[in-house]
Each structure stands twice: as structure tokens, then as C-alpha cells.
Structure 1
């Protein structure tokens, strides 16, 4: 990766917007501008509902808000123009409403990336593993961050079918770090690049569990690691629970990933995620307790 600055705990410095982060965990709140999202079933599709949700998650401690205009799963086709309409004007409104907030947009399309960057986005969250190579070039052009995700070579909005790996973690590391290096080669600031193992994407439940157990291997690459665990199928299948009952399982794997050094946690349930990752950070010695007077007097 080159000579990267490091935080006090040894993690690479991460730059988003005009802020610099060392080792502290960041919570990325999910706000979907879609009528058919798997978790909230379109609860924030309407503009006013989405704006209200942004206000709520900021109050709950979100560091980043991730705005999506197309659900990941197969479904109704959403063309470029429609995705732009769902995201770019909304990004502009959120930027005006929260001038200092770090705004991310979940997209794989460079045309969408260009429009949302012009509207004020700070981070492009590419969940489909570089399916559109021009997206990294847009991130470089606008000086924004880029999330490089493992999607196993799947086309956007397709489900895995009998997927197999000799070593899933090795494949995750190989593909995500290659995407990260390529992003730097086209001009993205290396301190604005993150990697994401892509839980559930091109993986069965056993794969996602193994990636979770071995997340420290991704952290050891030196690239800041983002995890998107929230209410996913590997949690539901592990516990035999429907999507609306997966919060506690999500918090458990979030704690495991935080202990191993993950830096950004993409979440639907912001407040409990904030408390869990902060408690892990205090226990690891990454940050001090808010108050520590017990037994001191």
C-alpha cells in the first residue's frame, strides 16, 4: 500500500471529507431511497421520511450516512436515470441540512457516482466489486473515498449459486486489495480507500462466518476495513431468525469484527451498534472511558 500514516493503535489513517480518523470505530447508517429494501420495506423511500431518518441517525451517533438508490437483491430494474433521481437531489438536501456530515452513496455506476459527488457526497460505496471500473476514476476526479468490496465476480444484483472457494478469506484479500491498489493507481488518495469483505455477497453462510472469524487477516493488509453485517442472511440462517429479529445476532458479529480491528460498521440499528463498537474500542484501549471514577476516591 505504500508508506501510510498510522493511528496510535497501529491502524492506517483514514481520511473522509475533511476529517482524519485514527483507530476509532465509525458507524455508517443505512438510509435507503428504495421502495423494496429487504430490511425496512421502503420506509425511507419518501423524501421526507428519508430526511427524518437522517436526522435521527445523526442524533444517535452515526459518523457516516450511506444513501442507496437500488436494492442489492434482484428485483425491478432501476436504470441510471432513476438511480440518479433517487440519490443526487437527496444528497444535496442532506449536505445542506448537515454540512459536516460524511455522506456515502451505495452505487456501482460511474454515472451515478459523478452526479452524487457533484451534489456533495464524500464516499462511493461500491458493493459490487468494481463492476464498473470507471467508478474509481470518478472517485479520483472528485477527491472522494472509495469502498472496494468483495463480490466474487458476480454481476450486480445477482445472487450466489453453489459458490465455492478453496480459501474464501484468501480470495477476499486478493480481490479487495487488487481493487484498492487499482484505485490508487488511477488517482484515489490511498488514505481514502477502504476494503469490505462483502458478507453474503457471493458467499454462503459458512463463507461469511469464516470471513468473520478471520477478519484480522483483512485488517493485517493495512487497508481500513468496513463491514456490512446488519441483519444479513448469514445472521438469520445462523440463528434461524427472520430479518426483523436479527439485531442481537448482528451486534454479536459486530463486536467480533470490532475486536479484530474493523473500522467502519454499516448498520440499520445505529444506537446499539454505536454502544457495542465503542465498548469494544474502550476494552481494546483504542479510546478511554467517557468517565472513570469508580474506586478512584
Structure 2
């Protein structure tokens, strides 16, 4: 019997948010004994125009059946859609009957508006994470995760992360082999872990004026050093007070936080790609104490280094 997948759309949705997950389920269904059947849904049914101008034919909510999984897509129209009482009521109802409720990118806002995410850990596109936190303070936003699974709720970041989430759902349903073959057919990575960073820390912290670009590169090359504010300020020829203030304005975080983010990125790379002992990695990336590094990993990735290494090893086999 086919697994029923509802894809919830609204005006100005992101076409690839819908197409990516749909393609993954379609391809996986061709490999598995129990295929997937996708149903595009919208408030009134009929053609729904995406932000690109292309439209998809949909079924109205009033005639929608029961779904194993509901996927709410993101897009430019999410702000209007999240305030629609009919969409909110539909999501809440599906949460009582569907096995899983999922979102791609800013589709997370619709789940939050429907009251589905209070007390849950979720993600969305990194550019919208601060807004999600501000609008829904009871929601625990992991701004840097690719996708997050918290009970029956799955949320994902941008377009490609929706495919990562779909592959994880397929793994849960049909097993790793089917998900791997699906990824091969789509020519995408089989399994990017949900806690993996959405983007490079250096890219995130690049100043628009590139005022501290050289300093950030210097920090990345000197992580073993004791990188205090005084050391960093001296590196750019500024007073410590002026440096701290200017750095926070340009980069968007304190110097200490920037150093930790760069250390975490370097440490995770070593944890996943090398067989070096954890204490050696802690020393070479400036954490020095493995316990200090473990606590930083838990704050940022919600997993200790040992778990991340085990997952990386499992993906490689």
C-alpha cells in the first residue's frame, strides 16, 4: 500500500522546496516495495503559483484525505500563509492523524504559527532563524542545522536541506540501501548529518566591508594560540575596547564567539575525517581540554565529538 505524502503549498511558495522532496519520494518509491503517493495541497485547490511564476495543480484542504506524512514547504509567501487560520487549523488537524509533520526552509514558520513547535528543537534557513526566534520565543531554534528531528516533527533548512530531510525520512521508512540508491539517482550526497553546519563559519562571519577578513583567516591558521581580545586587537593595530566594539558590529558576534566557531569548525573536520584521538584534536584546535571541547560540541551540534565520529564512520562504510 502506498504511503500518502501531502505537500502543502500556498501562493509564492518556493518551487524547489516542493520539487526536491517530491522527487526524492518518487524515486525511492520506485525502488521500494511500498511506493509513495504525493498529493499537492492548498487552501482552495487548483493552480497555485510559485514565486518563480510556475504553478502546480493542487487539491483543496476540504477534500484532502489522511496522510502518513505532511510536508509544508517554504517560500516568499510564508508570511501571509502563516497567518491563515485555515492553514493553521489544517496543520493542527494533520498533527493528530499523520505519522510525521515536516517543513522545508521557511515552512517552519507555518508549523510554529499552528502551535506545533513550542518546546521543540527545530531549524530553518539561517537567514530567517533570528526572526523565527523573535516571533516564537518558545521554539528552540538550531540556526545552523541542516535538518532536525524532534518527535514526530521534522524541520529542514534551505532547498537542498529538504532533500537531505527526505532521504532521512526514506531511510526511516525503507532502509539505508533504498535511501542510498535514491541519492545516487538524484546525484546528491546520501547522508549529510542533520547537525552539520549549513555553511562555513568563515563565510558566515565575513564582514561586508571585509574589514576583518584577514584577521579571520589569521585566527583560522593560529587556533592553537591563546586568542584573547588583546592578542586579536594587537594583530589589527587597534585598542582592545575599540576592537571589540568594531568587530561585533562588522562580524555580528563577539571576538570570543568567533574564535570558538572557527575552533569548532576545524575540530569537527578533524573528528569526522581523521582518526586522531579526541584529546589531540582538542589541543591542536585550541580547546586544550577535551571536556571543554565536548561542551562546545554539545552547545553547537547537540552531539559530543565521539557521536559525530561514529556517524561519520558509519556513513563512510
TM-score normalised to structure 2 length = 0.31
Q: Which has the higher contact order (CA 8 A, sep 6+)?
A: 1
Q: Flag the structure with larger Rg.
A: 2
Task: Answer 1 or 2: which has greater helix percent.
Answer: 2
